[in-house]
Structure 1
Amino acid sequence: MDEAVIGKLTQHALAARNNAYAPYSHFQVGAALITDDGQVFSGCNVENAAYPEGVCAEAGAISAMVSAGGSRVIETITIAGKGLIPCLPCGGCRQKIREFATERTCVLVVDENGEQLFKDSLHSILPFSFGPENLETSNQKEQAE
């Protein structure tokens, strides 16, 4: 991935993190993704007094992508947490990213200063994943042909 694109995604993720609503944990997270057609979407975590009802930053970015229409293929997603320890996507977000991923989808994690802490494929952090193709039956495949 081009360094300019990585820089752009990092800036979007950091900006989104600054807008996070985290009055309970005080742990702000921002995410930015780029689709295969070059569109960038970002999101931040939004907490709720009923803790399980919060929304992760990655889910917010994916929702923005879907609501905008167009491509739904994530090339790279960048996550910016608070602190200097990598803030990798939770299990639920890994599965949400997987829904729109390819074998080449990259997960990039930066620290609160934008310094890269982690970079690898989604497949490496969610091996043997379940995806849309698992729901296809042989009958559906025949109809598609």
Structure 2
Amino acid sequence: MQDDELIEAAQAAAGQSYSPYSRFPVGAALRFADGTIVTGTNIENASYGLALCAETVAVAKAMDAGVRGGLEAVAVTGPGADAITPCGRCRQVLNELAQLGGTDPLVFCVGPKEVRTVRLSELLPHAFGPASLD
């Protein structure tokens, strides 16, 4: 049941998307070990390179709220024909948050007809993170 609630939170977040250029609303939801769920949505900009992905927005909100450990699961949803996965930048941003708590969260990649479940480490093998700087 928790996984369905996380996916629903991501879908609701997509409803807040500001995506007038791509018309591709994306929602993300992060679940932490204490049950906290933090959501984000994509925010586009006329200067395309300044757009923010839903996952990055959710991570920034979590960090701003002091939620930094215990990332258990992530759900990402969008309107494409297939289940969507986080882009490379978002995989790195999610990895940073996960490594702060020593976790390898499940990532629910949600599409209109399917949900793919993978570990973040499968999406970003041999990741660069805080430990790489030691």
TM-score by length of 2: 0.91
Q: Which amino acid aligns with 2:77?
A: A
Partner of 2:124: 126
Query: Residues of 2 paired with 1:62 and 1:71: CA distance?
Result: 9
Find runs of 4+ consecutive structure 1 residues off by over 2 angstroms.
70-73
Aligned-partner SS, 2:82: coil
| SS across alignment from 2:108 | strand
Note the residue ranges of structure 1 that are not aligned, 5 or more in a row: 137-145
Alignment partner of 2:14 out of 12, 17, 27: 17
Query: Alpha carbon RMSD of aligned pairs, Å?
Result: 1.3
Paired letter, 2:108: L
Q: Which has the larger radius of gyration?
A: 1
For residues 32-89 of structure 1, the C-alpha deviation after alignment (integer angstroms, 9 at most, x for no partner) is 0101221100000000000000000000111111111144331100001113312110
Q: Show the counterpart of 2:76.
A: 79
85, 88, 111: which one aligns with 1:88:
85
Question: Which one is further off, 81-90 or 13-22?
Answer: 81-90
C-alpha distance in 2 between matches for 1:6 and 1:30:
15
Q: Tell me how many residue pairs correspond in the alignment.
A: 131
Q: Which amino acid aligns with 2:34?
A: D
% identical equivalent positions = 37
